[in-house]
Chains A and B, each alone.
Chain A
């Protein structure tokens, strides 16, 4: 059994999800190779080589891979696929874009958002916004799956694997015109120990600053409901939920969020959930460990003061 893991990175640094996908792969007790495809991404490859359990790091370093486009990356992966029993990537926007394309080219099915690996063929993944867990047995020769990073603990950086350069250049027919990233000093949602999320009730982008202050005091990240993102209070990549980020921090504080099924799908595996809402009937209270029925405009400043 040999697993190929596709590394998640921005050409400069390795993203935290990869060490969690490697942890998932390690449960299969086979060799693990990691593919780093990017441009000027040597530092990323070095970070990968240190991760425990990695046998080899395959590096395709060329400008054609800079924008992480699915059409040429899929061909690159398929070209390397022979000999691998499993191909995994994190269930991030890049992994979700790429892996179905890889699976289709290999004529195998794909399993999305794996949260548990029972054996080499058997995987558990959520369906219906996490309201059911489906256990499937794959009948395919190669198992292609995205892994939900929040369900696995990262492997430590204790190793020193070999780095192998791949001299394969495949062009994409697409071109990247622009790439805007939202710079933030705060931890990434997937990595944060604490997340403070705000909903529609915040009412404005300015009011979100209150949550940022609270998050900063706790060393945490800021998240949001879809309603808050749609209203333009905060950037889209901070949406938590069925169709946004899936998170499981130690502490999740939901402020002025009602707790729709689609929002719960993204945060209900958090270790401790706090809900602040002025409506005692709000469904968010059903998943909260600590509920506070209060006006957020009074409760949040007070919380900032007391912490």
Chain B
């Protein structure tokens, strides 16, 4: 079984971003970039499926600028077998990403598409579901457990109020939640090995995908600052403030 894992290059989760002075975009120049944490979890899960003998190839795909090769190498250092970069400098909406992934899937014919539930930049949480819709595949989003037995996929999903366990036929799209696994650290020998693994580059035009504009970004602004609070010296003072100043208890 082949597993395809779409991955994204994003600003590192520990970096606090700023909006640019013109209020037109988030300023990402010279920030530390990383593999989106949810994508990393998806890669880890795919590699574990391979290690368990349930998958035989893990292909990672990214849509983005040339430098996104770094994140594809990281994914291969974690154990993915090969990588595809669909090179573009255009910012892409989830729908466009899903259309491009659909074209890659048409070539790859993966039986399982495992991806992160959201990227921590746009926080959209859309791409996996959109790809599943376009490919007419079933989906299991927000996965905290994935198992494959006899061509049937069983997934536990983290939903509001609890856990839902689903069974679905393959091919299918699964999106990873935080508690699916804890990704390994890439070892130095594996980082070296990843440099020699195949990485193909394609363009959107080569894939025959035509995209159209759907949205215009009018402004990007920082959120309202909270007004500075105070430190209280004791639990007594806290209770007094909550009762008599904030009047919330």
Contacts and interface: CB of A to CB of B under 8 A. Distances in A.
Given A182-B162, A273-B229, A306-B236, 18 more contacts: A71-B139, A93-B141, A93-B142, A100-B125, A103-B130, A104-B133, A127-B121, A131-B26, A132-B223, A177-B154, A178-B163, A178-B165, A194-B248, A194-B249, A218-B249, A251-B249, A287-B229, A290-B246
B158 A109 contact: no
A180 interface: yes
Contact of B160 (A131, A135, A229, A237): A237
Interface in A127-164: 127-140
Interface in A246-276: 250-251, 261-262, 268, 271-274
B126 A243 contact: no
A124 to B, nearest CB: 9
A15 to B, nearest CB: 8
Interface stretch (A29-37, A46-54, A167-175, A197-205): A167-175
Given A94-B160, A237-B158, A302 B229 contact: no
Interface in B106-163: 117-118, 120-134, 138-142, 144, 154, 157-163
A274 B214 contact: no
Interface residues on B, range: 35 or more
Interface of B: 11, 13-14, 16-17, 19, 26, 93-95, 98, 117-118, 120-134, 138-142, 144, 154, 157-169, 177-179, 213-223, 226, 229-232, 234-236, 238-239, 241-242, 246, 248-249
A268 B225 CA distance: 10
A70 B161 contact: no
B235 A299 contact: yes
Given A129-B123, A292-B231, A177 B162 contact: no
Task: Say whether chain A's binding surface is mostly helix, strand, loop, or mixed.
Answer: mixed
Contact of B125 (A112, A229, A285, A290): A112
A179 B215 CA distance: 37
Given A94-B159, A103-B126, A131 B121 contact: no
Contact of A97 (B141, B226, B230): B141
B183 to A, nearest CB: 13
Interface residues on A, range: 35 or more
A215 B188 CA distance: 48
Interface of A: 10, 67, 69-71, 74, 92-94, 96-105, 107-113, 122, 126-140, 172-182, 194, 218, 226, 229-230, 235-237, 242-243, 245, 250-251, 261-262, 268, 271-274, 285, 287-294, 299, 302-303, 306-307
